[in-house]
Structures are given as structure tokens and as C-alpha cells.
Structure 1
């Protein structure tokens, strides 16, 4: 699979939750607030009891050992009404976790945990194909894409390496990693907190960049107008900072003032435009 998920991550240490936690994909909370709150005071120890409490309070279980399939399916479809971008993921979750008999994930029976874990895995697979990452716009179809756009370095390879990111000419494996992107933005003091970009700081950072690289000033200004927004559109499953970084990259490449014309670069530009369309 393209990215790993920690379904019992840090979020679950604080309160009951039905939010699958992933290093790359920001899947929204799928539980309802009332049962989550009821099961958080006090929060029962995991991995089974806390999830089972939420399932019981939500009416998702017939008994400890069997899922109320209609109730759980109805809940997922209701959740989908306000999260339409997750349709493929929810369809897969229903197919894999409601319509089929499930494997037992723990050493002891816990139907709620089995269904929750299956749902998280299915949702990740529904948004990120196992072998390509195309749902999030995969790696460029050519080697050394910066030969097509002579874009001056924005983040040094040293900074990238310290955050676990590949060098800019190295192929990326899998979808954007939110934690690594946030790391490099923090290095430049571009984050308000652990989750949200400081858009004003990003704008000022890019202004300084174009002072030193004047041929990109107009291109970067256009990219800022499009990408430096709260609630930026984009593929489901990636966090806000990763959306902004991706959007800026695609916009600058799309309007690159130093573009090299060649068969290779034409192929890359087609790919860039397909990716760019996901963010505008």
C-alpha cells in the first residue's frame, strides 16, 4: 500500500475517536460527537474497549460479536453527505467491511475493532491506489523534471533531508507526506501551529524568493493568488500544508518562464496540467 496508517495513534490517547490516523492522509472523524463524548469520560483503555463503546453507543452492534450492518452502512452514507469527496473510499469501506465477513485483527474477538480497522484500511485504499498514488497525482512521468523548468531552489536538499524528504531531483515514493512537509515549513517559520500554515508568512517568504529570482516574480505572484487560501481545493486525504505546497509547485511549473521545449518536457507539462486541475 502507498502509505501506512496508525489507526491507534496519538489522537486516541486523548479521547475516544473513530478517526483513522495516517502519516499521509487526513481522513476526517467518522464518529458522531455524542457517542464519542460519552465514551471519553472516562476514556476506556484500547484497543478494543474504547472503539466498542462508541460502536455500542452509536447502535452499530447487535451484540458484542456482531455488526448491525444496516445501521453502520446507513451511518457511513449519512457521513458521505457532508464528505462527498470520499465517495470512492466509502464505497470501498462498505464493500470490504459491511458486505463481507471480516478477519479478526486482535488476539481476542472484538467486532467493533475489526470493523473500524477494516474501514480505515478500506478508506485509505479507496483514495490511494496501491501501486501508483494517482488519486493524489503521482510522480512525474520523466526523470529530472527540473531540467524542463530551471526553477531556483526553494528548499535546500539539506533541509529536505533533515525532514526526511528526498532531494528535489530524486523521485518521490508514494503520496505527499504531511508530517514531512510540515517539518520543512516549520524550518522556515511558515506554520501558525502544528497543523496550519501561516499564509502571510508564506507570502513574505515567496516575496523574498522572487527578489533574488526576478524572472519568476510574475509567475510566483500568480501562484500566490491561486494557492494561498484557506480551505484550498485538492485531492481528498492530504493536509492543508501539502495542498498549498503542491498547488504552488504545479502553478509555477504550469507558467514557468524558463520552460524548455522538448518531447520530454511536453510529456511533463501534460502531467503537470492534469495535477494542477485538482487544486483550482
Structure 2
């Protein structure tokens, strides 16, 4: 079994967004992004994640995801983190491809996108921590990833 409360301990993923771009988007939980408990599937209105994408110019005016802008953003992000090239390329293919993003109907597109990015970053992690708990998480992820193809 893996520690589902702290999967971030298994892979050191640099922040995707700068702290400054989070300004005004916090739900007020006071929990740093990397330490979030992964049992919450997002707020019903997903205002926090929509705000985050908007603050990074990744949405059109109607709050629809601007996939071209997300691709450009990821290219800039990975330029200084080359070890994540495979993960970013997978995200661009899977999360920003022609197929609709996966997730329950009640999950907004911002949540679906960020969940897809996060899942693929973990799945293609270049610096995976080899512990029993993390091995369990990797096996769990490997079982889920075929649903993204």
C-alpha cells in the first residue's frame, strides 16, 4: 500500500506555477500546494484552479482552456527542467490532445487539466524515490494510466 496522503514525497516535481501567480486564488486553506491532501477532488465551482490558470494566461476570456497557451507555458517551464521533458511531452499528447479530458462530468476543465498534468508528471517522474510506499504508488499509477491513452 502507498501513502495516498503524501504522494508528492515520491517525486520531486518543481512547482508548475510561480507563487506570485497564486495571489488571490487561494481557498484560504493555508495548505501549501505540495502538501495538499489528495482525497479532495476539488471544489464544486473550481474557482481556485480557474483563477490560477487565468492568472497564468492559460484561459480564453470565457474561461475555456487555451491549449496552445498551455503548450507554450509547458515548453517554457521545461526549458530549465530538462529531466521532465518526457513528462511534458506526454502531458501535451495526453492532456492537450484531440480527445476530451477525462474526469467526472461534475469536474471542471481546470481540475481535469491539472489532474491530468499531475498524474502524468508522477507517471513519468525522472527522480522517483525508491521506497516500499512509493513503489506501491507507482504500481497504482501504472494501473490507472491506460485510461489516459
Give TM-score scaled by structure 1 length: 0.45
Q: Report deviation, 1:272.
A: 3.4
**How far apart, CA to CA, are the structure 1 residues paired with 2:118 and 2:58?**
16
Q: Verify the 8 A CA contact 1:235 1:279 in the aligned structure 2.
A: no
- The Cα of 1:171 is off from its aligned counterpart by 1.8
1:278 to partner: Cα distance: 5.0
Give the match for residue 155 of structure 1.
Answer: 17
- String of CA shifts for 1:210-248, please: whole Å, max 9, x gaps: 101011112211221111136223223111221111111
Distance 2:86 2:147 in 1: 22
2:5, 2:39 within 8 Å by CA — same for their partners in 1?
A: no
Deviations 1:127-147, CA, capped at 9 Å, x for gaps:
xxxxxxxxxxxxx6143x222
Among residues 141, 148, 156, which one is paired with 2:4 in the alignment? 141
Paired residue secondary structure (1:272):
helix
Cα distance in 2 between the residues matched to 1:160 and 1:273: 31
How many corresponding residue pairs? 140
Relative contact order, CA 8 A, sep 6+: which one is greater? 2
Match of 1:237 in 2: 106
1:188 equivalent in structure 2: 56
Cα distance between partner residues in 2 of 1:223 and 1:265: 21
Unaligned stretches of 5+ residues in structure 1 = 1-139
Alpha-carbon RMSD across the aligned residues, in angstroms, is 2.3
Q: Which runs of 5+ in 2 are unaligned?
A: none
- Alpha-carbon distance between aligned partners in 2 of 1:261 and 1:186, rounded to the nearest angstrom: 36
Q: 1:171 to 1:233 in 2, by over 3 A?
A: closer
For the pair 1:170 / 2:36, whether they are aligned, the reply is yes
| 1:49-69 superposed Cα distances (whole Å, 9 cap, x missing partner) | xxxxxxxxxxxxxxxxxxxxx
Instruction: Calculate the TM-score normalised by the size of structure 2.
Output: 0.79
Check if 1:264 corresponds to 2:133.
Answer: yes
Larger Rg: 1
Runs (4 or more) in structure 1 with deviation over 6 Å come to none
Distance 1:274 1:156, change over 3 A: farther
